[in-house]
Structure 1
Amino acid sequence: MPLAEMTFYSRVVVQPELVTEHELVWFKKRNIAVYAYLSVGESFNKSESSLSLNPNWNSHIADLTSEHWQQHMQNSAALLKARGFTGLFLDTLDSYQLLDAKHSKPEQQAGLVDIIKNLSNTFNKHLILNRGFEVLPKLAGFASDLVAEGLYSHYNPSDNSYKLTTKDDQTWLIAQLNKAQTLGFNVQVIDYAKPNNRLAMAIKIKQAGFTPWVTDGHLQTWGTSSIKPVPRRILIPYNSKVKPLIYTLVHLKLATMIEYLGYIPDYVDMAKRPLPLVDPSLHAGIISWTVSDAFYTPTLTNWLESNLGVVPQLILGELPNASKLLLKLGVESLNTSPKAPYELAHFEPWLKGEATTAPAITKPYFLKLSKNATPLITINSADNLAVVQAAKTKYGAVVVAPWLIDALPMEGSKWVIDPRTLLTKAMGLPPILVPDTTTLSGRRMLTIHIDGDGFTSVAHFAGKPYSAEVIRDEIIEHYKLPLTSSVIQADIEQGGLHSKMSPKLEAIARDIFALPYVEIASHTYSHPYFWTALSGRKKIDVDDTDYGFHLDVPGYNSISLKKEITDSIKYINEKLSPKNKKTVMMLWSGDATPGPKALELARDAGVLNVNGGNTDVNADNPSLTHVSPIGRPERDLLYQIYAPILNENVYTNLWHGPYYGFRRLTETFEITEKPYRLKPYTIYFHFYSAEVPAGLEALKHNIDYVLARPNTPVHLSDYAKIAKDFYFSALAKNSDDEWLFSSKSIRTLRIPSDFDVPNVTQSTGISGVTQKGDYIHITDDIAQLSFDHTQTNNSPYLASANVAIDTWQVNGPVKFKAWVPATLDLINARSCEFISHMGKRFKGTSRGKITQFKLPEGQFYGYLNCKRGAF
C-alpha cells in the first residue's frame, strides 16, 4: 500500500484482507482511522443467500432478508472490529434493485436497514455508506458519512471506458447529496477519469459543495482529491533467488543518489510478488540494473515494454535479449560485430563521472540508434564503425556495462558516469523538495554511538583501567553529548566470558547508562559475526573464519536469535538500566546484515535498529560508490537503518593499526558534505578505541573537529526515526500549486538549487529557512509551503540552530532541549526575545539580517516574544 501518501488523510478505506497487522499498527501510531471495505449487497462467492447474478461484475446478489446473510454480515464486522479497524465502508447497498419483481423491494430495504443498524452498533456509527438513497432517512444517526459514485462521470467495466454523465443525472444526484447533507451525513463524491483529467474534475466536485476523490474505474491507482501526490517512488525489480537485495549494485551504489534526490527506491522482489501496476500518480520511474541477461524473464521484459511511456525507464548494465523492447527504447543491435580494438569517440560532458579515464573496452555491446534517441557515449571500432554504449531515449535512458562503475586494482571503484545527471538529465527525474536525513534546524546532525566490543579490554593507561572506564571518563562524561552506548551481554554478565569480574563490569555499565545524555542499546548476547549466514543469504564454513561464528561463550554452541536480541534487551533492562530508562536500540554486530526474522524480533522488542552499510569513503578514493543509502527494506514494514558512517575498525586496518587511523574520519565528513551533503556527522566507534592513547586521541580529534563546526547533536534513536521515516514521508501539491509535506519524524526539507525559497509568512507548519535558502525547518506533521512572494516575508523566522525544535510559534510557545549551550539564529528578529517559563529573558545580538540568541543548555520551555510591526 502507498502508506506514505496516505498520511495526508485522517481516514483511509482499504481492502481488509490485503492489510497486515503491522500496517494497522502503523496507521494507529499516526492517528489515521482505517475503514474496512465490506460489500453488503453482493459477494463473489455463491452461497445459500444468493438470489441472482450481477452481470457487470459477475458477482452474486444477496438476499438481504436472509438470516444467513445478516449473520454473515455481523460475523464479518466482528472479525474486522477485532483486528482493529476503526469503521466500515459499506458498498453495493443498491444491488437489491437489480433483482426481478418477485423479490419484494420493501422487504429487501428493511433487511438492508437492519444490517446497517447492527453494523452501526458494532462500530459506534463509524460507517461510510455508498449511496443507498432510498433508505437514507431511516439511517440518519446510524452512519457518519455517505459516498456517491458517478456525479460527473461513470466507468464501464465491460469496455474499460470513461464517459460523462448527463445533465439530468447530475441534477438528480446533486439533489440526493444535498438531501443527505441535511440529514447530517458528510458527503464525498467518487468520480472516474484518466490521470490528466482528474484534478479538473476534483475541483468541479469541490465547487459543487462535496469532497472529491477522482480515480480509475477499478480504484487501483491513487486518486486525486484537493491535493495530488508528487510521485517519489522508483520501481526497481530484482530477484532474491538470483541475488539478495543487499548485494545488488542498484542498492549498493545507485540508491544513495536516488535518495539524495528525494526519491524512494521501491524494490520489487520478483521471486516473492508479481510486478505491480505502474501508477504515474505514485511512481516516478523504473530502473533495471543487472549484471546478467538471465535476469530478464519474459514476464519482466513484457512488463517493461508495456510501461514504456507510462513513467521514465532507466536500463543499466546487461541488456535484455528483447529486440522489440530495445527498439522501442531507441536502440538496436548491429547486424555485424565491429572489429577490435575500440576507442572512445564521444562522451557527453554532463554525464562524465569520477573516473578520469575510460574503462577497458573488451567486450562492448554493439548498438546503434533507432528513432527518438540521442547518443550519450559512443566508441569507434577498428573498421571505423560508431557503436553506441549509452543513449537518452524517448522513454528514458540506456547505459550498458562497463560504462557505469569501474573497479580499479588497489584503488577501489569509481563512477564512470555521474549518477546524479544519470537520474536527472538522462532518465529525466524532475527536481523535488527533498525529505532530508542529514540536517536538523539548518545544521548538520551529529550522532555518536558505541558498539560494546572492547568493553572489558584493559587499556594501556596508568592503573590498567578497563577501556569502558576510559571511554566513560574521557569521552562520555567529558563531552556530555547525546550518545548511544551498548554492551555485549555475554562479555560482562555473571556466567559469561569474564564472570569473575562481572560485578565490576556491570557496575561500569550501570554508571554509563545512568548518565542523562546516554541512551541504551544492546550489541547482542554473543556478538554474531555472520548475520548473512543466519539469514540464509550465504553459506559460511566455520573453519574459514578467523573468529568462529560468535564469541566463544561456554556452553553456547548454536546461535539463538531470541537470545541474541530479545533476551539481551531483557537482560539490560532488568540488570543494568536505571528505573527511568529502557533499551531503545539494537546495534547489529559483525557483518551487520540481519535478515527479516532478526529485524522482526527487534521490532517486537520495541527497539529501533542501526548498523551496517559501507560508508567509509576517504581521500584515497573519494568516490560516491563507497557511500551507502539510508537503509534497506525487508518484508512487512521492516527496515534496517544503516550506520551513516562506519566505525574505527575500517580506518585502522581491522584494529591492527595504525591506531590513529580513525583521524581520517574527518576526510569522510568532508567528502560526504561537498558537493552533496549525504550523511550526518557520525562518530561510531567501539570501547576498544580507548585501549591505546593513539586510538583515544583520534576519537577526541574527531569530536573536536565536529564541535568546531555548526552542528545539531541528537541521539542515534532520533536519527533512526528520521531515517526510517524517509520511506514513509510524502509530498503533494494542491490546486493553488502549493507544496505539502507529510512526515511523522522528518523535520527538514532540502531545497534543490533550481528551486525558489518558500515564503515563511504564507506557509504553515514551518519555523523558517536557512539564510542560504537550502533547508526548510518543519514543525508540524503536515506542512504547507507557499512559494508566492506577492506578500513580503517580513515576520521573524528561524535561520538555524543547534537544537531540535519541539514547539515553535512566534509570539507563542517555544520548546526545545539543548544538549550544549544553545545558539539560535533568527531573521527579522531584532525586536524579539526568548522568555523562559521562569520569566528569564534572553535578548539577541544582531549582525546584518541575523539576530543570534544564546541560551543555556537544558530543557527550554517558554515563549518567543516579538514586537508586532517592528520586524
Structure 2
Amino acid sequence: MKYILYLVLLISSQVFAKPVNNSVAFYYSSPMPLAEMTFYSRVVVQPEHVTELELNWFKQRNIAVYAYLSVGESFNKNKSSLSINPNWNSHIADLASAHWQQHIKSSAAALKARGFSGLFLDTLDSYQLLDAKHSKSDQQAGLVTIISSLSETFDKHLILNRGFELLPKIADLANDLVAEGLYSHFNPNDNSYKLTNKNDQDWLSAQLKKAQNLGLNVQIIDYAKPDDRLAMAQKIINAGFNPWVTDGHLQTWGTSSITPVPRRILIPYNSDISPLVKKSVHSKLATIIEYLGYIPDYVDVAKESLPKIDPSLHAGIISWTTNNIFYSTEIIKWLEEGLGIVPELILGELPQSNKLLVSLGVENINVAQAGPYKVEYFADWLKGETTKSPVIIRPNFLKLTSDATALISITSANGKTLAQGSKTKLGGIIVAPWLIDNLPLEGSKWVIDPKNLLNKVLNLPTILAPDTTTLSGRRMLTLHIDGDGFSSVAHFKGKPYNSEVIRDEVIKRYKLPLTSSIIQADIEPNGLHSKQSKELEQVARDIFELPYVEVASHTYSHPYFWKVLSGIQNIDEDDTKYGLNLNIPGYLSVDLEKEISGSIQYINERLTPKNKKTVLILWSGDAVPGPKALAIARKAGVLNVNGGNTSVKADNPTLTNVSPIGRPEGDLLYQIYAPIINENVYTNLWHGPYYGFKRLIETFEITEKPYRLKPYSIYFHFYSGELPAGLDALKYNIDYVLARPNTPVHLSQYAKIAKDFYFSALAKNSNNEWFFSSQSIRTLRIPNDFDIPNIAQSSGVSGITQKGDYIHITDDLAKLSFDHSQENNVPYLASANVSIDNWQVNGAVSFKAWVPAKIDLVNGRSCEFVSNDGKRFKGKSNADITQFSLPKGQFYGYLKCKRAA
C-alpha cells in the first residue's frame, strides 16, 4: 500500500511539475534549433531540412514532428497545374485531378515512412484564386477527398492552414487549425510587416471562434521583428488563441507564450586550414563562453554553408583566426551582413573589409609606423593573467574611428597612436598578440580577460547558466580508470597485479561510484598476456561485479593517435616509435569497429554480470576521435569521454589550460572531454615524480575560484597502483575531496549532463519568469548580479543554495519565478550529497545516495522523510537549516511537511 502511495505521488509530481505551452512551433530553415524546440510538444518543419538523426532525436524526447505539405500549390509546374499565384510565383493545382490526389497521397506516405508524426497542410484556399471556368465545387470536393486520405494516413494528426469555407466538412478530419495574420501580415514582395485593420481582425476572429466551436485547437501565426514578438504573442493569447510570432518566411525562431533567450555564439572556422581541436577559440575561449551559459556554435565553412543569423537564437559572432587565408569573400560578406543583427567580435588576424573594420572601431593607416613600440593605453577591466605586455614585433597599423572606444593602443617611435583593440555598439576588435601570450618558461597566459571581453565587448547579457559542475548544490565528484597497466605487476608484497591493488586499496576501500575500463587485447585469451588471461579476466569480473562500479571499454588495442586515424594529422607528424597502437601479433591496422563495438561486445559477453552492460568508451592515446569513431560509439549505445587538457597547476594558474566541456563533430556527435586530465600528465608521463598526482588538488582549487569550471574529477590508470607513491597520491586526492562538500556520481551521469549542455535551452515570458529545458542538467548557476528565484512561485525546482549561487532543477522543464511579492516560506533544498530523481514537498521523493545522505533543507523544521517501507527520518535544525541524515542507497518515499499556519 505504501509503495502504491509512492507511485501515486510520483505520477502526480510528474504530471503537474512541467510548465505548459500549447503552441505549435514552426521552423522552415536549417539546421534545426533542437535545444529551443524542447519547449514544445509539436514542431512543424520543412521535411527536406530535417535529418534522420534529428527525427530520431525528436522521437527520443517525445516531440511530435509535423511535415509541411502544400496541398493546393507547387513551385514546380506539372500536368495538374492550372494557374499562377502571383504572390509567391507558384503553380495552383487542380485538386479534382486524380494525378494531383495521387501525388499528395504518395508524398504523405513517404513522409509517414520517414517517421513524421503529422502534417501541416498549407495552401488550402489557393483554389479560390482560380477563375470562374474552374468549378469551385469540384475543387472543394477534391480538397475534401485529399484531406480525408491524409487524415486516415496520419490518424487525424493534421494541422489545417485556414480552409474556413470547408470547415464543417473537414473539421472532424484534423485536430488543429492555424491561421496567419490576425494582427499583422507579411508582404513577400518587399519583406515588410504591416498591421491588419480592425475589420480584417474581426472577420478572422469570428472564423477562428467557429473553428474552436467545431472542436479544433486554434493557433495564430503572426509576423513581427524579434523585439516586438512577445508583446504581439501576448495580444494573441488575450484574444483566446495560441500564438506563434516569427518572420514572414518562418526561417527564424519564433515566440509563443515564451520568447527564447539567445545562447548560441556563432564561430566560423575552416577545417581545411586547421581542425577545430587546434583552434584557440575552441580550446581556450570556449571554456569561458560555456561558463557564462552560452553555447559555442561552430560552423565549419569547409563542410557547411554559413547559417542565417537569427537574433532569436544567436547572441553574437566570434571570428578568431591566425591565418588571413580564412577570410574568403563569402565569410566577409556574411560578417558584413550580420553587422547590427548581433554583436560581432573579430580576434587575431583581420579581414580585408573596410566596412567591417570601421563598423567595429578601426581603420587602416596606409603608412607603416616604425618601432620600437610601447603601450599607451590598456583598459584596466580588460587586463588578463599576465603582468607583462606581449612582445610587439609586427603590430597592426590601425587608428581608432571617431565613434569607437579604445581598448588597447600603442605608440610607434614617432609618437603615432596605433589602435590594437576597439569597441563600438556593434562589437569590437582585438588583434594579435593581445590575446594569448606564449612564454618560453611560463607557458601560455591570457593577455586580456576573456570573461570581460565577452561580457563588455560582445555585450553578452547576464543569464542563468546551465551548469555541469554541481549537483544538488555541491560540486560533483567523478572517478574513472583507463585500462592501462591492468596486467602489470605492482611493486608490493606478493607481486599482485596493478589492477588487484587498485581493486582492493581504492575501489573496495572507498566504495564510491567509479567507472572502470579494460583494454581488450591486454587481458583476453588471444591477447598480449594469454598465459595470464584467466587470472586477469577474473580480476576484471571482480571489479565489474561491484555494485558501485560501472563498466567502460578502453578500446581493443589502445590506439595512440586518433588524430591520424581521423585524418586530422599526418602520420609523419607524430612520434611513432612505439607504433600506432599496442603491438598485437596479426593485428596489422587499426579497425575502428573492432576497437569500439568489438571491445564492447567482448566485455559484455565475457566480463560483466548479467545486470550490467558497458556504458562508456574511454578514448585512448591522444583522445581526439573523428566523426566515424564517435558514430560507431553512438551506434553501439555508449557514451564517450576523455580528451581535453585541463591540468592547470599553481605554478601557472592560467585558464588557458582549462578545456571546454566537449567538442562537436557534426551530425549531433559530441566528444565529451574528461573534466580534468589524468595522473600521466602530473607525473611527467609516468617517469616521476610518482607522487606528482598530488598536485591534482591545485587543479581542483584553481578550477573552483574565481570560477567553478569543473567538477571534482579523479581520472587515473591502473598503473597508479604500481608504486607506493602513486597509490598514496591517489588516496590523497580522494581523501581531499571527501573532506569537502561533494556529490558523487558515475562518469556516465556526468557525460549525460555534459552533452546535454549543448541541447539545453532558456526562455522567458512577459512576467519575467524564466524557463529551462534539459533532459539531464539539474543545476543552474545564478550570476552574482542576478536575482534569486522565489521557490514557492517556481515549478520543477527543489531549491537554491544558501549562498544563492545554484538552483536545483528536478524536471526536464522548469519554471523560475522572480516575483517576491509572496513570501518564500516553503521548505526547499539548500544542498545535499545525493542525486535526486524526483522531488515534491508533501509528495514523491527519490534519490541515490552513494554515501550516507546529508540533506539540508531551508524552512524544514516541520518536515520528515518517509521511506516506502515506513521508516521515518527527522532532521536536526540549526538556524535556518534542518539537516537530515539517511542511509546510503536508493531512497523511495516522500517528504512530509506540516503546512505553515
Give the structure-2-normalised TM-score: 0.96
Q: Aligned match of 2:804 in 752, 757, 773? A: 773
In structure 1, the residue matched to 2:888 is 857
In the alignment, is the contact (CA less than 8 A) between 2:230 and 2:765 conserved in 1?
A: no
Distance in 1 between residues matched to 2:611 and 2:842, nearest whole Å: 34
In structure 2, the residue matched to 1:639 is 670
Per the TM alignment, residue 376 of structure 1 is displaced from its structure 2 partner at its CA by 1.0
Distance in 2 between residues matched to 1:184 and 1:196, nearest whole Å: 33
Per the TM alignment, residue 731 of structure 1 is displaced from its structure 2 partner at its CA by 0.5
1:555 aligns to 2:582 (yes or no):
no
1:29-178 matched pairs, under 5 angstroms: 29-178=60-209
Number of paired residues?
870
SS in 2 for 1:824: strand
Q: Provide the aligned C-alpha RMSD in A.
A: 1.0
In structure 1, the residue matched to 2:12 is none
1:507 aligns to 2:538 (yes or no):
yes
Using the TM superposition, name which of 260-269 and 151-160 deviates more: 151-160
In the alignment, is the contact (CA less than 8 A) between 1:542 and 1:548 conserved in 2?
A: no
Per the TM alignment, residue 541 of structure 1 is displaced from its structure 2 partner at its CA by 3.2
Distance in 2 between residues matched to 1:508 and 1:116, nearest whole Å: 64
In the alignment, is the contact (CA less than 8 A) between 2:360 and 2:422 conserved in 1?
A: no
Residue-by-residue CA offset, 1:780-808 (whole Å, 9 max, x unaligned): 11111111111111111000000011111
The one-letter amino acid of 1:398's match is I
Per the TM alignment, residue 103 of structure 1 is displaced from its structure 2 partner at its CA by 1.2
In the alignment, is the contact (CA less than 8 A) between 2:697 and 2:736 conserved in 1?
A: yes
Per the TM alignment, residue 371 of structure 1 is displaced from its structure 2 partner at its CA by 2.4
1:534-613 matched pairs, under 5 angstroms: 534-541=565-572, 544-613=575-644
Distance in 2 between residues matched to 1:335 and 1:524, nearest whole Å: 57
In structure 2, the residue matched to 1:192 is 223
Distance in 2 between residues matched to 1:792 and 1:365, nearest whole Å: 57
SS in 2 for 1:241: coil
In the alignment, is the contact (CA less than 8 A) between 1:542 and 1:549 conserved in 2?
A: no
1:136-535 matched pairs, under 5 angstroms: 136-535=167-566
The one-letter amino acid of 1:549's match is L
Distance in 1 between residues matched to 2:788 and 2:226, nearest whole Å: 29
Distance in 2 between residues matched to 1:155 and 1:137, nearest whole Å: 28
Q: Aligned match of 1:812 in 843, 853, 867? A: 843
Residues 410/543 of structure 1: CA separation in 2 closer, same or farther (3 Å cut): closer
In the alignment, is the contact (CA less than 8 A) between 2:596 and 2:632 conserved in 1?
A: yes
Distance in 2 between residues matched to 1:328 and 1:711, nearest whole Å: 48
Distance in 1 between residues matched to 2:574 and 2:216, nearest whole Å: 71
Per the TM alignment, residue 542 of structure 1 is displaced from its structure 2 partner at its CA by 9.1
Q: Aligned match of 1:653 in 659, 662, 684? A: 684
The one-letter amino acid of 1:278's match is I
In structure 2, the residue matched to 1:867 is 898
Q: Flag structure 1 segments of 5+ consecutive residues without an equivalent.
A: none
1:675 aligns to 2:706 (yes or no):
yes
1:22 aligns to 2:68 (yes or no):
no
In the alignment, is the contact (CA less than 8 A) between 1:330 and 1:394 conserved in 2?
A: no
Using the TM superposition, name which of 532-541 and 597-606 deviates more: 532-541
Distance in 1 between residues matched to 2:474 and 2:190, nearest whole Å: 56
Per the TM alignment, residue 80 of structure 1 is displaced from its structure 2 partner at its CA by 1.1
Distance in 2 between residues matched to 1:708 and 1:472, nearest whole Å: 22
Residues 68/671 of structure 1: CA separation in 2 closer, same or farther (3 Å cut): same
In structure 2, the residue matched to 1:822 is 853
SS in 2 for 1:578: coil
Distance in 2 between residues matched to 1:553 and 1:314, nearest whole Å: 50
In the alignment, is the contact (CA less than 8 A) between 2:490 and 2:721 conserved in 1?
A: yes
Residue-by-residue CA offset, 1:813-852 (whole Å, 9 max, x unaligned): 1100110000001111111111111211111111111111
Per the TM alignment, residue 196 of structure 1 is displaced from its structure 2 partner at its CA by 2.3
The one-letter amino acid of 1:306's match is E
**Shift >3 Å, 4+ stretches:** 541-544
Distance in 1 between residues matched to 2:36 and 2:189, nearest whole Å: 30
Residue-by-residue CA offset, 1:108-134 (whole Å, 9 max, x unaligned): 111111111111111111000001111
Using the TM superposition, name which of 642-651 and 162-171 deviates more: 162-171
SS in 2 for 1:761: helix
Distance in 1 between residues matched to 2:84 and 2:609, nearest whole Å: 66
Distance in 2 between residues matched to 1:221 and 1:477, nearest whole Å: 54
Q: Aligned match of 1:758 in 776, 789, 806? A: 789
SS in 1 for 2:583: coil
Distance in 2 between residues matched to 1:425 and 1:198, nearest whole Å: 26
Q: Flag structure 2 segments of 5+ consecutive residues without an equivalent.
A: 1-31
Residue-by-residue CA offset, 1:324-381 (whole Å, 9 max, x unaligned): 2211222111232222101111111111000011010111111111122111111121
SS in 2 for 1:541: helix
Distance in 2 between residues matched to 1:744 and 1:108, nearest whole Å: 47
Per the TM alignment, residue 543 of structure 1 is displaced from its structure 2 partner at its CA by 8.4
Using the TM superposition, name which of 446-455 and 842-851 deviates more: 842-851
The one-letter amino acid of 1:4's match is A
SS in 1 for 2:193: strand
Per the TM alignment, residue 387 of structure 1 is displaced from its structure 2 partner at its CA by 1.2
Residue-by-residue CA offset, 1:510-545 (whole Å, 9 max, x unaligned): 111111111111111101111101111111139841
The one-letter amino acid of 2:391's match is A
In structure 2, the residue matched to 1:687 is 718
Give the structure-1-normalised TM-score: 0.99
In the alignment, is the contact (CA less than 8 A) between 1:198 and 1:214 conserved in 2?
A: yes
In structure 1, the residue matched to 2:24 is none
Distance in 2 between residues matched to 1:735 and 1:185, nearest whole Å: 26
In the alignment, is the contact (CA less than 8 A) between 2:647 and 2:658 conserved in 1?
A: yes
Distance in 2 between residues matched to 1:569 and 1:705, nearest whole Å: 33
The one-letter amino acid of 2:230's match is L
The one-letter amino acid of 1:432's match is I
In the alignment, is the contact (CA less than 8 A) between 2:875 and 2:885 conserved in 1?
A: yes
Bigger relative contact order (CA 8 A; separation at least 6): 2
The one-letter amino acid of 1:229's match is P
SS in 1 for 2:571: coil
In structure 2, the residue matched to 1:782 is 813
State the identity as a percent.
75
Residue-by-residue CA offset, 1:608-649 (whole Å, 9 max, x unaligned): 000000101001110000000000111110000000000000
In the alignment, is the contact (CA less than 8 A) between 2:762 and 2:773 conserved in 1?
A: yes
SS in 2 for 1:214: strand
The one-letter amino acid of 2:738's match is L
